[in-house]
Amino acid sequence: MAQQRWLMRINGRVQGVYYRASAKYKAADLGVTGYAKNLSDGRVEVVAEGEEAALNEMLEWCWQGPPNAEVTNIECEKAAATPYYDNFQIFNS
């Protein structure tokens, strides 16, 4: 199967609840590469690259997030993967 790149913008109570760090651990478990970063409007942006099955699991996890998160919406854009990422990183906004 071809690798895919999913750009997810997560809305809700997602900053200050270890969302990015938790996303990094989940991505590592799934073998997904990319990054997570806070956006200035209060959302978290996650770029995830991998096989579709792993990305579906990552998206499911993003709806839950860590224990103190309250996700209200996720915008997801799908595209072909890039060779840019070799791990999952946390970026500061």
Residues 2-56: tens digit of each pLDDT: 799 999 999 999 999 999 999 999 999 999 999 999 999 999 999 999 999 999 9
**Containing H/E element for 55?**
helix 52-64
Q: Is 38 a catalytic residue?
A: yes
> Which strand (E) or helix (H) includes residue 75?
strand 70-80
Whole-structure pTM value: 0.94
Is a pLDDT exceeding 90 seen at residue 1?
no
Q: Look at residue 38 in the predicted model and tell me its pLDDT.
A: 97
3-state secondary structure of 85: coil
Q: Which two tokens stand for residue 1?
A: 């199967």
Architecture of domain 4-84: 2-Layer Sandwich (3.30)
**Opening angle at CA 47, ends 2 and 33, nearest 5:** 60
* Active-site annotation holder among 5, 38, 68, 92: 38
Helix (H) or strand (E) holding 54: helix 52-64
The domain locations on the chain are 4-84
Count how many residues are written for the chain.
93
Catalytic residue among 9, 11, 20, 56: 20
Helix H or strand E encompassing 11: strand 4-13
Is residue 5 among the annotated active site residues?
no
